[in-house]
Amino acid sequence: MNRRFNFNAGPSALPLEVLDQAQSELISYQQFGMSVMEFSHRSKEYKAIHEGAVNLLRELLQIPDDYEVLFLQGGASLQFSMVPMNFLQDGQQGNYFITGSWSQKALKEAQKVGETFTGATGEHTNFSRIPTEEELTYSDNDAYVHITSNNTIHGTQWKEFPKKADKTFIADMSSDILSRSIPIEQFGLIYAGAQKNLGPAGVTVVILKKDLLKDTPENLPTMLDYRTHVEKSSLYNTPPSFSIYMLSLVLKWTKKYGGIQAIEEWNKQKANLLYHTIDASKGFYTGIADKDSRSSMNVTFILPEKQLEELFLKEAEEEGFVGLKGHRSIGGCRASIYNAVPLESVEALCDFMNTFHQKHNI
């Protein structure tokens, strides 16, 4: 079987080992005679998968005991609404640091719920960089401060997370969770859609500090109340059981290959190789993000001419490279090099880029 070089931004590459194992267990999970997709979510077999995934995520990310781990549905987009509904009280405001399209969308949903404040924005630079600590503004009325840790569209990433002792930070980490060490204690809540580094689409991980639940309003819709899912261990309703099973396999794969520390070094190696290829081209390829804000997950770049860019994407697809077209909102090219993208794929892309440069240098 010929596997393509998958650089999709999400749903994205999954480890081949994980796909092989899922295939082998698809019809009969551990010789049980049923697929995971056929298990009752109340069964002991599924419960073992579910609890195993929670425990392994806790181990890999070193999640303290005073945090809950939830598996929810609705993607990160539903969290845009759940966060302010649960934590934005009258007389307070949600403080949003705007670093790209997804933080803009999170702000838009919060504005429907209550008062908001924009404590930083990168719109004036077309989101080409992450704001400095000096550019961040806080307010005495902040209920929480929201950031998006990695910006898939523009290819920027917070290298150091903002700190302010008296603030509750909430982070959308959909596109870089599990890719590097995270100081969990700096955040009140972290959420992440699975379809980048954690598994297939369909499940959203929420890591929530228990203390935050004490002031949650009482009149929330049941399914939009974090307490509902905490009290029922994410089993209030039927969970996305197969997605959680796949997530558990990805977590086992991550542990097998050295855990977060090893994965982080691997990701740095891939990103450095690709950015070196861009920079060494001396302007044939130009990175979109400022160098000190470059993402290790989403590498964005442009070519000198639109016609040349289209030819690049056409020839790349013919050579088996998938997902290199930039987001429709900014164009250009983008290579998403999440955890499951092997180094060999990045090396192959760099070879193709160098060859294309030599053929079409202007």
Domains and CATH numbers, the chain: 16-256 (3.40.640.10), 259-360 (3.90.1150.10)
pLDDT at 231 over 90: yes
pLDDT at 362 over 80: no
| pLDDT tens-digit readout, 103-143 | 999 999 999 999 999 999 999 999 999 999 999 999 999 99
| pLDDT tens-digit readout, 285-313 | 999 999 999 999 999 999 999 999 999 99
Asked if 203 and 73 touch (Cβ cutoff 8 Å), the reply is yes
Backbone angles phi, psi at 93, to 5 degrees: -140, 150
**Banded model confidence at residue 2, pLDDT cuts 50, 70, 90:** confident
Considering 142, 172, 176, 225, which one is annotated as catalytic?
172
Specify which residues 170 forms β-bridges with.
146, 189
User: In which residue are the tokens 């999170």 written?
Assistant: 106
Q: Does residue 314 have an active-site annotation? A: no
Q: Does residue 253 have an active-site annotation? A: no
pLDDT at 144 over 70: yes
Q: Does residue 102 have an active-site annotation? A: yes
SS3 label, residue 39 = coil
- What's residue 78's pLDDT? 98
| pLDDT tens-digit readout, 329-357 | 899 999 999 999 999 999 999 999 999 99
Considering 167, 196, 270, 325, which one is annotated as catalytic?
196
Strand order in the sheet with 286-287: 286-287, 298-302, 333-336
| pLDDT tens-digit readout, 247-287 | 999 999 999 999 999 999 999 999 999 999 999 999 999 99
